Chain A
Amino acid sequence: MNTKQNKELEKLRQEMRRGVIVLATLSQLEEEQYGYSLINDLNEQGFEVGQDTLYPLLRRLEKQELLDSEWRVEDPRPRRYYVLNQTGQELLKELKAAWKEQVEVIKEIIK
Chain B
Amino acid sequence: MKTNLKAGELLARYLLGVKRHLSGKDREDIAKEIESHIFDTLEERFPETEEVTVAQLEEIFKEMGAPRKVAWQYRPQRSLIGPRFFPVYAIVARILVAVVVGAILLSTVIATVVGEPQSFWHVLGNFLGSAWSGALSAFGVVTLIFAGIERAVEEKSWDEMEDFEELKEMNEYKASELPQLPQREKKFDRVENVFEIVFGIIGMAFLTYIYASGGVFPVRSSAGESAQLIQVFTDNYLPLIPFAMGITGLELARTITLYVQGHHSGLTNWWVIATQIGNVILMGFVLNAMPIITLQAFNERVLNLNIANLDATTNTAISVLTGLGIAGTIIDVSIKTYREIKEPTY
Which A residues are closer than 8 A to B by beta carbons? 7, 11, 14, 34-37, 51-53, 55-56, 59, 71, 76-80
Contacts and interface: CB of A to CB of B under 8 A. Distances in A.
Given A52-B73, A59-B74, A36 B41 contact: yes
A79 B32 CA distance: 9
B70 interface: yes
Contacts of B37: 35-36, 51, 55
A72 B74 CA distance: 22
Interface of B: 1, 26, 29-30, 32-34, 36-37, 39-41, 44, 64-65, 69-70, 73-74, 157-160
Nearest to A60: B77
B73 to A, nearest CB: 4
Given A36-B37, A37-B40, A80-B29, 18 more contacts: A35-B37, A36-B36, A36-B44, A51-B34, A51-B64, A52-B69, A52-B70, A55-B33, A55-B73, A55-B74, A56-B73, A59-B26, A59-B30, A59-B74, A76-B1, A79-B40, A80-B32, A80-B33
Given A36-B41, A52-B70, A59-B30, A7 B1 contact: no
Which of A35, A53, A56: most chain B CB closer than 10 A? Answer: A56
A53 B64 CA distance: 11
Given A52-B64, A59-B30, A77 B73 contact: no
A105 to B, nearest CB: 26
Which of B26, B29, B37, B159: most chain A CB closer than 10 A? Answer: B37
A14 B157 contact: yes
B33 A35 contact: yes
B23 to A, nearest CB: 14
Contact of B160 (A11, A36, A77, A79): A11
Nearest to B34: A55
B74 A77 contact: no
A34 B36 contact: yes
Which of B33, B39, B160: most chain A CB closer than 10 A? Answer: B33
B154 to A, nearest CB: 13
Contacts of B32: 71, 78, 80
A56 B33 CA distance: 11
A65 to B, nearest CB: 15
Given A56-B73, A56-B74, A80 B36 contact: yes
Contact of A79 (B1, B34, B36, B157): B36
A7 B159 CA distance: 10
Contacts of A71: 32
Contact of A7 (B36, B44, B158, B160): B160
A88 B74 CA distance: 21
Contacts of A55: 30, 33-34, 37, 73-74
Contacts of B65: 52
A35 to B, nearest CB: 6
Contacts of B30: 55, 59
B64 A35 contact: no
